[in-house]
Amino acid sequence: MILGLSFSHNATACVLDEQADRVLFCCSEERFSRRKNEWGIPYRALEYVFRHVAGPERIGIVAVGESCRMRYGSHEFAELMNLVDYGVKDGYIRSKTRLSQVVFKEALARTFGRSVELRALVIARLRALGLSAPIEFTDHHAAHASSAYYGSPFDEALVITFDGEGDGLSGSCWAGKAGRLERLESLPEVASVGLFYKSIAAFLGFKVNQQEGKVTGLAAYGDPKRFAEGLRRFLHAEMQDGRLNIVSEAAERHMSRLSRRKVYFLRLLSYIPMVLGAREWEPLFNRLLRREFCDFYGGVFGVDGESIPFSVAADVAAAAQQVFEEATLAIVGHFQSRFASKNVALAGGVFANVRLNQRILDLPGVENLYVHPGMGDEGLAFGAAMLHANASRQDKGLAGLDCVFAGPMYEDAAIRSTLDALGAPYTPADDDVLIEQAVQALQAGRIVGLFRGASEYGPRALGHRSILANPADPDLPARLNERLHRSTFMPFAPAVLAECFDTLFTGPKYAGAHPAARFMTIALDVDPAWRGRIPAVVHVDGTARPQIVREEDDSFFYRLVRRFHEATGLGCVLNTSMNLHEEPLVNAPTDALHVLDRGAVDLLILGGHLVTGSSVPSRL
């Protein structure tokens, strides 16, 4: 068996049975720690793997989805920056003496020329867990490319990766053909379109590596003309004398001032006042980023960044989305000239932007689009494992990633034990009864939580850790966002029966979106005749981010949506992730009960049980 790992934000563990061409487990550390985008070695996920999937002695190779070539002066500083979780990082921030000591030790070590490689520290930490298998390290963007190609249904494809930065690069393009990947071109980190988008998120006060989607959602409310021309000097891409020229001034500023791979101690001194008042690592980092980019963009937008009116924020987001799309599409067009294929496979955090993905599908020459469902750094674990599994094969191995239900699963006996221990009344029921109860509740305007089977790999809830609602209610988004404590401008997405997909969506290439739409990773135009019938899942720009629901993927969820269709004539339900704002997707039954207890849903299908909000103990 192959154990794939990633350590940066959204650290993840993946177990692949290469003999059976089957993913046995893939889940991010955040689901266990309950902290969004958890950092470091995924110890909790590994504990689950060793207990429930495969012990360390059964692992034949460990594949790490990053090179870990960074060098530091001391092991402690290297571990603080790369391998510990946010809880440990917060401890350093709260203990100013301890933080000062590790920073001073690092500076002293560098002064005297001492250097330690992160890779050696990683190996030592994994050996301490009982892993004796060989440990292989993979380039960051090679792991992303592997996740895109080997996860896709394509034998041949143009494979593209874009993110903020990883292992010194911000993007790459590859030719995927007959089970092999060939790198054609790479983009340096200072040419990053991802860091540009991250800088806009920081300027608007959103959390980086977490809330960039809010920029995309907000953009639909704004007018790009107001700021687009001013932003183009910060990001543009064009062909000059037959060569691709990319300018990303935001990336240059980020890498020169805020990179964890290039720590400048004189620069750190300017942050001391902010550090002294901080209590947690992540909020501190976001404040640093916001300060940097408020100074950077303030003159362009005419605001100080501290209090931005909604109309200005929407126009900034709209302009940023447009400039970001222009530059990214120019680069993709150049990549198409390197390897022409009707199939395009994408991975990297940039491709969490569903509007961009729609624009890529619209490009001439693109007929079919796949976006890896774990497109962010969680996909590095899967990609590294798949790259190693296919290294010596003559075929592609997995015929596409057919199922993302690869996380923890709780049997009904375990769920009953949890309910009994909490003293929560519940009603056991068979599937037909549960489906009928859910559909009746949806018709009555109630919110339904659905927790069944193994949890989803990647950021999208696809029917196993979902919140469901009636898409016909135009007032529902406002009410649901309030109950979930989410931003009012963020849209909700539909889970659509496969047989109704062609009816609800329109466009010359919507059929080519199927590989992406199975995993809710692309926006599509809703047919105008349907926009008024399912307003709760249609964004203000007339698009929606659909999930295609097929019986072969999940019979229970398919039957639920089909029964709703029979009852209402609507071939979709509203489907959003089961979590409160700023919390990860629920993982265990107690997490789902917490959501019910907080009033986010009216009733909860918990395995083969029905639980209502009035019966849940408030001590959760």
pLDDT band, residue 619 (cuts 50/70/90):
low
pLDDT for 266 equals 54
Q: Which residues contact residue 207 at a Cβ distance below 8 angstroms, ignoring those fewer than 6 apart?
A: 201, 282, 286
pLDDT tens by residue, 55-90: 999 999 999 999 999 999 999 999 999 999 999 999
Segment among 92-106, 163-177, 183-197 with least mean pLDDT:
92-106
Q: Mean per-residue pLDDT for 406-420?
A: 96
Least reliable range by pLDDT among 244-248, 367-371, 517-521, 601-605 = 244-248
pLDDT at 614 exceeding the cut of 80 = no
In this prediction, residue 260 carries a pLDDT of 58
Stated length of the chain: 620
Does residue 224 register a pLDDT over 90? yes
pLDDT of amino acid 581: 86
From 250, 18, 259, 42, select the one nearest 150 (Cα to Cα). 18
**Rounded to an integer, what distance in angstroms lies between the CA atom of residue 370 and that of residue 400?**
10
One DSSP character per residue, 431-463 reads HHHHHHHHHHHHHTT--EEEE-SSPBSSS---S
Taking only the tens place, the pLDDT of each residue in 115-131 is 899 999 999 999 999 99
Across 343-353, average pLDDT: 98
Predicted pLDDT of residue 239 = 84
Distance in angstroms (rounded) separating the CA atoms of residues 392 and 192: 33
Residue 539 above 90 pLDDT? yes
Assign 399 a pLDDT band (cuts: 50, 70, 90): low
Same CATH fold, 412-615 and 164-371?
no
pLDDT digits (tens, 9 = 90+) for 136-189: 999 999 999 999 999 999 999 999 999 999 999 999 999 999 999 999 999 999
**How do residues 258-314 score in pLDDT, each as one tens digit?**
765 555 555 666 667 778 788 898 988 888 888 888 888 878 888 876 788 999 999
pLDDT at 560: 98
Is 163 within 8 Å of 279 (Cβ atoms)? no
Tokens of 374: 């774990």
Is 207 in a helix, a strand, or coil?
coil
Whether 61 and 3 have beta carbons less than 8 Å apart is answered as yes
> Considering only CA atoms, which of 290, 283, 286, 319 is closest in space to residue 306?
290
* pLDDT (0 to 100) of residue 608: 97
Question: Looking at the predicted structure, is the pLDDT value of residue 480 above 90?
Answer: yes
- Alpha-carbon dihedral sign for residues 427, 431, 432, 434: positive
d(CA 535, CA 560): 20
Give the percent of the chain with pLDDT over 90: 78
- CATH 3.90.870.20 assigned to 412-615: yes
Contact 28, 80 (CB under 8 A): no
513-533 b/e with 16+ CB inside 10 Å = b? bbbbbbbbbbbbbbbeebbeb
Query: How far does the chain reach from its first CA to its final CA, in angstroms?
Result: 38
Q: Is it the case that residue 521 has pLDDT exceeding 60?
A: yes
Do 262 and 254 contact (CB within 8 A), yes or no? no
Residue 264: predicted pLDDT: 56
* H or E segment and range at residue 253: helix 249-257
Q: Where are the domains of the chain?
A: 2-137, 164-371, 412-615
Written as one letter, the residue type at 596 is L
Please tell me the predicted confidence (pLDDT) of residue 507: 84
Please determine, for residue 396, whether its predicted confidence score (pLDDT) is greater than 80.
no
The pLDDT score that the predictor gives to residue 407 is 97
The pLDDT, as a whole number, for residue 276 is: 78
Cβ partners under 8 Å of residue 172, min gap 6: 141, 142, 144, 145, 160, 161, 183, 185, 186, 187
CA atoms within 13 A on the CB side of 215: 33
The topology (CATH level 3) of 164-371 is Nucleotidyltransferase; domain 5 (3.30.420)
Residue 480 CB contacts under 8 Å (≥ 6 apart), including other chains: 447, 467, 469, 486, 492, 574, 576
What is the residue-averaged pLDDT of the chain? Answer: 93
Q: What are the C-alpha distances in Å from 544 to residues 47, 220, 330, 520, 533?
A: 38, 12, 25, 9, 13
